[in-house]
């Protein structure tokens, strides 16, 4: 999944980036509202972390723009302590959650996990799929008691396909959300095919993985029924 971090405090944005990368997210940073407003109309994100106190932009105005630009992203607003009004306004406008500074990174992580579960209608963090158990919080896959040895990106692919099960995801969508938003020229669709092939091969060592379908001319789908 990819995250846009809109935050003007350099130390904090760096800290968020390092932490989220370790958690398997692909991160982009925007230090100003202007930079952010350019990105949101061009790229697509799974999460947007939005600091309401930006130097050049009214945070709530930017939030409005975020919702105009994307319906897909989950938004967590970051506020300075004591700005209750903005927090409430932000939630009323449709933000998924908020964190008051200073917050712990583990709290951010658990809020993000909760949003993912809510968004995809999951009750637990372990998804049983076709004999496999996908643990979305701990980023592991098991077949019965045995851990399936996937690379980070293979896990991300599986996770993304399964969360959006029964929907066709294009190669470009998968690339953007798992490797990050690239320039058009850098996009090579074969790249995804190779990773899918490896993923299928690893899963097939335990159980059929033909439910990861290739949809000709379009992309891939986790056909779970
Ligand atoms: Ca700020």
* Predicted confidence (pLDDT) per residue in 42-58, tens digit: 999 999 999 999 999 99
- pLDDT higher than 60, residue 1: yes
Q: How far is the CA of 72 from the centre of ligand 1 (A)?
A: 24
Q: Which protein residues have their CB within 5 A of the ion that is ligand 1?
A: 8, 51, 53
* Predicted confidence (pLDDT) per residue in 110-150, tens digit: 999 999 999 999 989 999 999 999 999 999 999 998 999 99
Secondary structure class of 149 (helix, strand, coil)? coil
Domain ranges of the chain: 2-119, 126-222
Q: Kindly indicate the confidence band of residue 188, based on its pLDDT and cuts at 50, 70 and 90.
A: confident
CATH superfamily for 2-119 is Response regulator (3.40.50.2300)
Q: How far is the CA of 80 from the centre of ligand 1 (A)?
A: 8
Secondary structure class of 197 (helix, strand, coil)? helix
- pLDDT higher than 70, residue 185: no
Q: Kindly indicate the confidence band of residue 187, based on its pLDDT and cuts at 50, 70 and 90.
A: low
* Predicted confidence (pLDDT) per residue in 92-112, tens digit: 999 999 999 999 999 999 999
Q: Kindly indicate the confidence band of residue 161, based on its pLDDT and cuts at 50, 70 and 90.
A: very high
Note whether 2-119 and 126-222 share their fold.
no
What is the pLDDT at residue 11?
97
CATH architecture assigned to 126-222 = Orthogonal Bundle (1.10)
Among candidate residues 135, 134, 76, 64, the one with its CA nearest the CA of residue 107: 76
In the sheet that holds 126-129, the strands lie side by side as: 126-129, 132-135, 140-143, 146-148
What is the pLDDT at residue 86?
85
What is the pLDDT at residue 184?
59
Q: How far is the CA of 204 from the centre of ligand 1 (A)?
A: 48
Q: Identify whether 116 is preceded by a cis peptide bond (ω within 30 of 0).
A: no
Q: How far is the CA of 201 from the centre of ligand 1 (A)?
A: 46
- pLDDT higher than 90, residue 83: no
């Amino acid at each position: 999944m990819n995250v846009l971090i809109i935050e003007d405090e350099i130390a904090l944005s760096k800290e968020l980036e390092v932490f989220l990368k370790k958690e398997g997210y692909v991160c982009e940073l925007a230090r100003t509202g202007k930079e952010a407003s350019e990105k949101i109309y061009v790229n697509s994100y799974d999460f947007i972390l939005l600091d309401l106190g930006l130097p050049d932009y009214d945070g709530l105005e930017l939030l409005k723009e975020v919702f105009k630009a994307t319906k897909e992203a989950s938004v967590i607003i970051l506020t300075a302590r004591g700005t209750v009004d903005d927090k409430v306004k932000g939630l009323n406008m449709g933000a998924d959650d908020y964190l008051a500074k200073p917050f712990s990174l583990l709290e951010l992580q658990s809020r993000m996990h909760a949003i993912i579960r809510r968004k995809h209608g999951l009750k637990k963090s372990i998804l049983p799929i076709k004999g496999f158990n996908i643990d979305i919080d701990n980023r592991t896959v098991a077949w019965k008691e045995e851990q399936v040895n996937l690379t980070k990106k293979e896990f991300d692919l599986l996770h993304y396909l399964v969360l959006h099960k029964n929907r066709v995801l294009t190669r470009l969508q998968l690339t953007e959300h798992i490797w990050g938003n690239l320039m058009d020229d850098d996009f090579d669709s074969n790249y995804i095919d190779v990773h899918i092939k490896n993923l299928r091969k690893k899963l097939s060592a335990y159980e059929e993985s033909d439910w990861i379908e290739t949809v000709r001319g379009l992309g891939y789908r986790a056909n779970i029924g």
